[in-house]
Amino acid sequence: MGKRDYRDEMIKNETKNINFLQKCFKEYYFNKFKHLESPLDISRREFGFMSFDSKMTRHISFINMGQLNAFLIQNVPAGIYISNSYYDFPTFPINEKRLIGSDLIFDIDLKDLNLPCQKDHTYYICKYCDNISNNLPSSCSVCKSTKIDSTIIPCGICIRNLKNETKKLISFLVTDFGINHKSIYVYFSGNNGFHITALEKDYFNLDSKGRTDLVEYLMGKNFSVTSLGVTQYKNNLKVKIPISGLSYGWRKRISKNMKLFNITNNSLQKYVNRVGGYLLFKKEVENITGKMGVKIDPYVTMDIHRIFRMPGSINSKSGLSKVKCNNLDSFDPFSDACLFEDDRNVDVDVKTRLEFRFKRKKYILDKCSTTVPSSVGIYLVLKNLANLI
């Protein structure tokens, strides 16, 4: 087949997939609208919608959930987004919206964790001919196109690591930032991560610069050994613990990690010399901050004009919903976030051999046509790993 034939075939498949998905999404928003979490102060929030042909429309607002419901049934978007910021005029262009304040929001995503298992369940899909390979090719082995997409089916290890990172973030927010545990809400993003929202009035008016500093704190970035009292001037090491001490925050974390207790200038100086001097001490500190920092997507928190997938809405990259996790330990995204009814089966053409768990059932699918429950069909089509027949 030539490139053009592949393209025609893909357009045909895409149309079929989109018709199927639109029908399922419409049913969801008609029958399960109650799953959409009613946001605080809805009329002050900006909404955005992604269509099935990936066009984004922003600067929309609703005065109540009923109005949103009507909009969804009429327009059936692929993605529903809402701002974490509150505005006087949410429908105006960004510079004219008049910001009231913004909730703190964090994104923990699989892509930022760099887990070794990730390569085992990442699929590379040619944009032209749908050919799938398990390793990133420089060009497609079938049609030679260089336009390659990737998709991930997270495994148990991925989910466990995401949960641990989320817990690490919560611990920072409670211990260092004094945010009440009850004000922190954890959501499964609907695809490969968690969104964590902190509704804390003290940080509501923090501007983007303040949020950037806060993010750097959480990630362990820009730590200076001077803040431990260790400096070097013209090759001479100088140790003088700051007046504000080493009992809190990163200073405490680092000294504890180095097993330094009841530190004095003398003991710290000895420690620096023991590790091999200023530069090696600095290196060790960098390792500690890198290891202990939380792996969040910094831009998500820094950008106060961003819009986020609305809790309860369907993630158009997976068909799973963004849902609140009341118990993070027991939360299973492939069961608790799958809110589509399996009232029918669908026939799909699976593009590659797949092994995954869904709704507490293990699926081993070969590269061929098969019949699966509709929720599995939606998942595979949106993951770009199957086409609807």
Partner 1 sequence: MGKDDFAKYPFLNEAGNFIKETYFDLDEFERPEFRHIIEKARKRVEYEVLKGIVCTEFEKYDLELFAFLISLIIIKHINIESITKKYSLFEAMRVEKFLTHDLIYQTNSKKRDLLISKIFHELLDLQIIQFDSQRNIFKMKISDYLSRSTLFHELEWKLINRSVDKGFVYLDVEETVRLVRNELSLLIYNKIKNMKITKIPDQIKLEADSIKHKVIFPTPVQTKNLKFPPCIEHALNQLNKNENLPHSARFLLATYMLFYGKSIDEIINIFKNAPDYNEQITRYQVEHLAGKKGSLIQYSVPSCSKLANENLCFYTHECKGITNPIQFGKKRLQRRND
- Active-site residue identified among 297, 303, 332, 342: 297
**149 given a catalytic annotation:** no
Binding partner 1 (rule: CB under 8 A), the pick from 64, 91, 224, 264 is: 224
Pairing relation of β-strands 85-87 and 99-102? Answer: antiparallel
The dihedrals phi and psi of 63, each to the nearest 5 degrees, come to -90, -20
- Piece of the chain touching partner 1 by CB under 8 A; list 75-83, 148-156, 189-197, 297-305: 297-305
213 lies in the site for partner 1, by CB under 8 A = yes
Q: Quick one: which of 232, 288, 238, 233 has its CA closest to 260?
A: 288
Nearer to partner 1, 210 or 277 (CB): 210
**Cβ–Cβ under 8 Å, residues 32 and 323:** no
At 238, which amino acid appears? K
Which residues in 248-287 contact partner 1 (CB under 8 A)? Answer: 248-251
Q: Which is nearer to partner 1, 35 or 305 (CB)?
A: 305
- Burial zone of 138 (CB within 10 Å; 0-12 exposed, 13-18 middle, 19+ buried): exposed
Binding part of the chain for partner 1, among 32-40, 49-57, 246-254, 329-337 by CB under 8 A, reads 246-254
Q: How many other CB atoms are there within 10 angstroms of residue 52's CB atom?
A: 17
Tokens 């749908």 map to which residue?
130
Spatial CA neighbour of 69 closest among 38, 91, 24: 38
CB of 240 to partner 1, least distance (A): 13
In this structure, are residues 328 and 90 in contact, taking their beta carbons and an 8 Å threshold? no
Q: Which listed residue (242, 276, 277, 290) binds partner 1 by CB under 8 A?
A: 242
- Size of site (CB under 8 A) for partner 1: 42
Does position 208 interact with partner 1 (CB under 8 A)? The reply is yes
Stretch near partner 1 under the rule CB under 8 A, chosen from 70-78, 247-255, 274-282, 350-358:
247-255
Residue 109 is a catalytic residue: yes
Give the contact letters, 66-95, x = binds to partner 1 (CB under 8 A), - = no. Answer: ----------------------------xx
Please, what is the end-to-end C-alpha distance for the chain in angstroms? 20
- Write down the catalytic residue from 53, 88, 103, 109: 109
- Examine the residue annotation and report whether 297 is marked as an active-site residue of this protein: yes
Q: Which long-range contacts (CB under 8 A, 24 or more apart) does 31-34 make?
A: 32/339, 33/65, 33/69, 33/72
Chain residues binding partner 1 by CB under 8 A are: 94-95, 175-179, 202-203, 205-210, 212-214, 216-217, 220-224, 226-227, 242-251, 289, 302-305
Report, as residue numbers or ranges, the catalytic residues: 107, 109, 297
